[in-house]
Chain A
Amino acid sequence: MRRPTVLSALAMAFVCIAARTAIAENDAAVNPETFFYQGNMLYGEGEYADAAAEYERALAAGSESGNLYYNLGNAYFKLGRLGRAVLNYERAKRFSRNDPDLISNLRHVVSLLEESEGALTGVWWVRLMQAVSGPFTLERLAIVVSALYILDALLIFLAVAAVSARKRLLIAVGIVSTVLALESVSFAYRRYYAETLKPSVVLAASAECRFEPFEKATTFFKLYEGEIVHLIKTENRWGYVRRKDGKKGWVERDAYEEI
């Protein structure tokens, strides 16, 4: 009697998580959609500023989606605010990494930016990590890793229990474990990139990076609109950022925004 009880409790807990997520999604899907469609209509009429405002209202209502950020990025692009366009396209990538329209638009905007270096994707192991994680968003990658983990545990148990099929099961365990390890490392890196490195997009046309967080401090280098930097820490209204080439400096917080 004891073992079925434990399994039932676990199943209930899983159902609760799923149900909670579903309920939350239903609650948020009322007003934001209206704002979204309103924004689309205005965009079609060439009212890009109003369209951007509607999309922002949808976000302010507490909902988000890849398409919403994508459309907002388009509206900002039409308004000539390329930094904000890049910011929203990058945010959209968290939801749909491999959307060809998104990739095309982001590439087009980046090509228009004067000094932008783009995302930090040059190192081979970074590219490997991104390739391993495939088209999955970070959240989906977490689910994939979790599922692989459960599958691996199950296979290990079966390999222990089923003596006759142990050899084949151990091969399966090896394969799944390898994939699990790669996906786990990829997940860890991407989470580290998103949460620890804190990629941020420069929104100001040109922002001066200083040696110290003071207005009168000496300027070290300049950042340009659309450039992606990593936020190391903040102090009052200053953020300590690192550029792709490794140079670090203090820049005013209203000059950038975290992705």
Chain B
Amino acid sequence: MERLVKRLYTGSFARRVALMIIFCAGMLLAASAGFAKEKNFEVTLDRNRVALGETAELHLTFYGTQNIPTPKIDTIDGFQARYLGPSSMMSIVNGKMESSITHIYSLLPLRVGNFELGPFYFELGGNTYISGKIKIEVLEDAPQRSNSASGAPESMPNLDDRIFLVMSTEKTKVYINEIVPVTIKLYISRLSLRDIQYPTFGQEGFSKAEFGKHKQYTEENGGVRYDVIEFNTQVFGTKTGDFTLGPAQLKCTLVMPRERQRRSARDRFYDSGFDDPFFDSFFTRSETHPLVLKSAEVPLTVLPLPKEGKPEDFTGAIGDYQFILKADPKNVKVGDPITLRTSIYGNGNFNTVKAPVLESQENFRVYEPTMSTEKNRRVFEQVIIPESETVTGIPKIGFSYFDPDKKIYRRIVQGPLALTVTKPEGYVKPRIVEHSGAGAALVKPRDEVLGSDIVYIKDSPGVLRPKRKPLYANRIFLLFQVVPLVLLIALITAHSRFERLRKDTRYARSLRAPKEAERGVNRARRFLREKKAELFYDAIFKTLQGYLGNRLHLPSAGITSQIIDDIFRPKGVDDDIVVKLGQLFSDCDMARYAPSKLDEKSLDLTLRNLEEIIRYFERHKI
């Protein structure tokens, strides 16, 4: 069928037409088949309370067919009936086809009172259809609105019989912790609702489960067919006493057509496909009203569990349970773990189900069980370890619970389960070792409490030293701290000077000039004392030449009287010095060519002039 419908939408036009015909034919065949299977007849009213001057609608519905002719009804006491027309419906739910036809009559009440309509009889093809009875109340005026549906506008007709909430429980007396199903039904008749929320209700003294998935169906109630939304949950009493559940409250939004003229039943049935808030908002002007529906309270008595017959191992489980015990593996060695799986299933309050306990734990090391809960099942897994090869089976496990329906305690016992336990290889049976002597030192006691005290005195005084100022306060020590800095500065300075002397020849010669000049002067002075005039002037000349050469960074051999005017005058050397310098060169020349003309005084004057010239140059840094 799904494939066929799919092709209707995806094939070419001719193919789609052909498929459409096949589909319709199939539907007709299915409808006729359905009619052959089942036929039901039902009579309902659209309301069971009507005022004089208003009309109610009587629906004669035949399920399972759409080929029922208009049924003729007898005169109804107190009402004037008028046939409005048929309305047929066909639906496919979960692949199951349902069809029906409803013949609608309009009932105009003629007098005030309570009336019982029916049963209605109808015969077709030899079959007789008989409906039940329905009641209707005819009032003088339109009925007043009650408080059960708050939020409805004042101008609206009474909604009590068109929308209401019913809360119910299966029992009114329950035991503590016993699960009680709670049903909350929302009845809706000929109204559009949206934003329907899950109901809430007061639950003092009870613990409530979450709501399950809601159900939707139609239900006849007091002769009126309602759309029903059913909500289901469970509660259980947590303390004993008389309590009330509810009232349940449900919030929803009512969608009403605004200024909408009352349409005929025929129109409404033909438009039923568009009786939807969505279409209302397009084709009619509708308005919404938030509603809070409230149900009646449900009294509930919570009883304590009886004391009679309570098993010793009863831990509070209430319901109706069974349990399965499994052990794995069943062939083990001493010390090997075995997993016990206890699965408890049934109906009841699983919150009260605790792990069943081994009746005997002798020769077993038993660990705490782990628990998992599924729907209507709680599983415990517990590790036990056999400690002796003499173990032949897992002892019995008992589980006790209280059955609230039978009002008795029950106890289920499982086991013992056969078990084969063998010695492991190299197994040494544990034995208790007595605390004695040296052996005790090997065993560190648990939770050892250590003592606390001071450590014993020192054997030797260590380095005894006289009480004195600390070294860092000693002046010599502090003074000594200056030495590295001074040394560093000196070394760096010396290094810099050395480097300059090495690299800067002019500087080196200028530094060397006075020293060499001093040595030359001393040599000349010695020749003067020895009265060696020739050597004296030779020393004077060489000293002068060497000094000036170093000073001017020129080759010494190139220093002659001719450079005096070229170099010294432009440098602003005093005239007196220039004259003396010229005189010195002149005297030296004369000594070479006419030494007899120079007496001792001249020699002495020459030496003084040389010393004066050198001092002058040194002083003026020329």
Contact = CB atoms under 8 A, between A and B. Distances in A.
A160 B493 CA distance: 11
Contact of B455 (A27, A101, A143, A154): A101
Interface string B427-465: 000000000000000000000000011111111111111
Interface string B369-387: 0000000000000000000
Contacts of A105: 454-455
Contacts of B480: 10, 13-14, 17, 146
Contacts of B468: 24
A142 B549 CA distance: 56
B466 A77 contact: no
Given A32-B461, A64-B465, A191 B472 contact: yes
A63 B457 contact: no
Given A24-B466, A28-B466, A36 B491 contact: no
A32 B492 CA distance: 50
A62 B466 contact: yes
27 contacts: A10-B483, A17-B474, A24-B466, A24-B468, A25-B464, A29-B464, A32-B464, A33-B461, A36-B464, A37-B461, A64-B464, A65-B463, A66-B462, A67-B458, A71-B458, A74-B457, A75-B457, A96-B462, A101-B455, A108-B452, A111-B452, A139-B471, A139-B472, A142-B470, A142-B472, A142-B477, A146-B477
A40 interface: yes
A157 B474 contact: no
A104 B455 contact: yes
A25 B470 contact: no
B532 interface: no
Determine the interface band of chain A, counting residues with CB < 8 A from chain B. 35 or more
B472 A58 contact: no
B481 A149 contact: yes
A149 B484 contact: yes
B1 interface: no
A65 B462 contact: yes
Interface string B483-524: 111011001100100000000000000000000000000000
B471 A143 contact: yes
Nearest to B453: A108
A40 B462 CA distance: 13
Nearest to B483: A10
Interface residues of B, number: 33
Contacts of A143: 471
A68 interface: yes
Interface in A69-99: 70-71, 74-75, 77, 95-96
A71 B471 CA distance: 25
B461 A160 contact: no
Contacts of B467: 59, 62-64
B457 A71 contact: yes
B488 A70 contact: no
Greatest chain A CB density within 10 A among B468, B477, B484 is at B484
A109 interface: yes
A62 B467 CA distance: 5
Contacts of A217: none
Contact of B481 (A24, A74, A146, A156): A146
B484 A17 contact: no
Interface of A: 10, 13-14, 16-17, 21, 24-25, 27-29, 32-33, 36-37, 40, 43, 58-59, 62-68, 70-71, 74-75, 77, 95-96, 101, 104-105, 108-109, 111, 138-139, 142-143, 146, 149-150, 153-154, 156-157, 160-161, 187, 191
Contacts of A33: 461, 464
B36 interface: no
B472 to A, nearest CB: 4
Given A25-B464, A64-B464, A161-B495, A153 B488 contact: yes
Contacts of B484: 149-150, 153-154
A63 B466 contact: yes
Contacts of B454: 74, 77, 104-105, 108-109
Contacts of A43: 457
Given A17-B476, A150-B484, A36 B461 contact: yes
A82 B234 CA distance: 72
Contact of B492 (A17, A40, A160): A160
Given A95-B462, A108-B453, A157 B481 contact: no
A70 B471 contact: no
Contacts of A77: 454
Contacts of A70: 457-458
A159 B470 CA distance: 34
Contacts of B477: 17, 142, 146
B476 A16 contact: yes
B465 A63 contact: yes
Given A16-B476, A58-B461, A70-B458, 16 more contacts: A13-B480, A17-B474, A17-B476, A24-B468, A32-B461, A32-B464, A37-B461, A58-B464, A66-B462, A74-B456, A105-B454, A138-B470, A139-B470, A149-B484, A153-B484, A161-B491
